[in-house]
Amino acid sequence: MEDVYKAVKVSEHVYWVGAIDWNIRDFHGYTTPRGSTYNAYLVLADKLTLIDTVKAPFINEMLSRISSVIDPGDISYIVSNHSEMDHTGALPGTIERIGPEKVFASTMGASTIKEHFQLEQEIIPVKDRGSISLGNMDLSFIETRMLHWPDSMFTYLEKDRVLFSQDAFGMHLASSQRFDDDLDLAFLEYEAATYYANIILPYSPLVLKLLNKVAGMKLDIDLVAPDHGPMWRKNIGRILGLYSMWAGQKPTKKAVIMYATMWHSTESMAEAIAEGLGSKGISVRLMDVNKSHRSDVAYEVLDAGALVVGSPTLNNNMFPTVADCLTYLKGLRPRNLVGAAFGSYGWSGDALEQVNDALRAMKVELVDEGINVKYVPDADALERCFSLGVKIAERLEKEVG
Ligand code: FEO
């Protein structure tokens, strides 16, 4: 069976030797309805070099792809750009099976890998902007700390103008196509945005610095080779531009209303707020968090200017699925949002202030104290919700200019 796995040539000296995970549907809390890939790359230099490995259960698929080009035992070097286990899970097994001369990682990566796997193999730290010789060509390294782990780095192969960018510029998409121009660009942009929103967003200020750093290095890049999804060869400028835009987090005339509802009271309020926002030309996404996954909410928040959150009070608390989504979003640290809270209750209305507190903790600028309605909103309460929508819209108008 394993003989069917073949390497794919992606540049003069580089082969893709990764694995396709068609059926993964949850990536530590991020829903992945279209699966993923774990990309590993083989550099055919004097010193045969493997860049990154794959998730542990896919080691045979990776070694099989390598075997379609060379004997894996001939690999001299392994470079690990990122220690997360979807890229290093197969590293200990690979080291054991091929016995490489040397394994390289960033300074942080060297210690992370040792600690994670309690490896006996020495992991040689490489410096930011340092390089190693593979005999007839060099590899150079660019530290990308906290993008998105402390150990993360890029590797650059000048000979073929390939930038191995680990998670950056990637997406969770299983496909039999390996390049951006084999797939629909709008679809790729959606998947890349979803990935950015759910993985990279917390580190947006560092993304801007990194983009400047890479631009300053004036690297010639013909291929961006991430660790997930297709490689970018035709639309490199486009994906770099999108990263710059997403990292900038400029407010837009778009509002996300996320809510949960028990008996449709909070839902009626959400719809009235949406009508108010829409009456002023704001684009609205209304999302019941009992029906929308938290990572789809994160995708919508990525380019929004407002986050409006509704919750009924259940047993003196905000609704559990609202708490789940707010906890997730807080960790992703979206910036430059205005917002408000709303909700309904029976005998204690604690959820409203809890949501307000959660929004404040996310540094969302609240436009007012929010709306709390006992039992079922009447016409007057719905009118107040509509007005809240208008107020948020007017605030967004000012922010966006
Ligand atoms: Fe694809 Fe951060 O691992």
Q: Domain residue spans in the chain?
A: 2-247, 256-394
Q: Is 122 a catalytic residue?
A: no
* Ligand 1 center to 91 CA (angstroms): 14
Residue 35 CB burial class (10 angstroms; 0-12, 13-18, ≥19): middle
368 classed as catalytic? no
CA 300 – ligand 1 centroid, Å: 22
CATH assignment of 2-247, given 3.30.365.10, 3.40.50.150, 3.80.30.20, 3.60.15.10? 3.60.15.10
Ligand 1 atom closest to 227 (CA): 1
DSSP string, 345-366: ESS--HHHHHHHHHHHHTT-EE
Peptide bond into 148 cis (omega under 30): yes
Q: Does the annotation count 82 as an active-site position?
A: yes
Neighbours of 347 (CB within 10 A): 8
In CATH terms, are 2-247 and 256-394 the same topology? no
| CATH of the structural domain 256-394, one choice from 3.40.228.10, 3.20.20.70, 3.40.50.360, 3.90.79.10 | 3.40.50.360
* Closest atom of ligand 1 relative to the 85 alpha carbon: 3
Is 228 designated active site?
A: yes
Give the separation between CA 139 and CA 32, rounded to whole angstroms. 32
**What is the CB < 6 Å shell around ligand 1?**
82, 84, 86-87, 148, 167, 227-228
- Degrees (nearest 5) of the Cα angle 8, 149, 328? 105
Tabulate helix, strand, coil % of the chain (nearest 5).
40, 25, 35
Q: From first to last of the 401 residues of the chain, give the pLDDT tens digit.
A: 568 999 999 999 999 999 999 999 999 999 999 999 999 999 999 999 999 999 999 999 999 999 999 999 999 999 999 999 999 999 999 999 999 999 999 999 999 999 999 998 999 999 999 999 999 999 999 999 999 999 999 999 999 999 999 999 999 999 999 999 999 999 999 999 999 999 999 999 999 999 999 999 999 999 999 999 999 999 999 999 999 999 999 999 999 999 999 999 999 999 999 999 999 999 999 999 999 999 999 999 999 999 999 999 999 999 999 999 999 999 999 999 999 999 999 999 999 999 999 999 999 999 999 999 999 999 999 999 999 999 999 999 999 98
Q: Calculate how far, in angstroms, residue 228's C-alpha sits from the geometric centre of ligand 1.
A: 8
User: Out of 167, 267, 296, 300, which one is annotated catalytic?
Assistant: 167
Q: From atom 1 of ligand 1, which residue's Cα is the shortest distance away?
A: 167
Parallel, antiparallel, or unpaired for β 306-310 and 338-345?
Answer: parallel
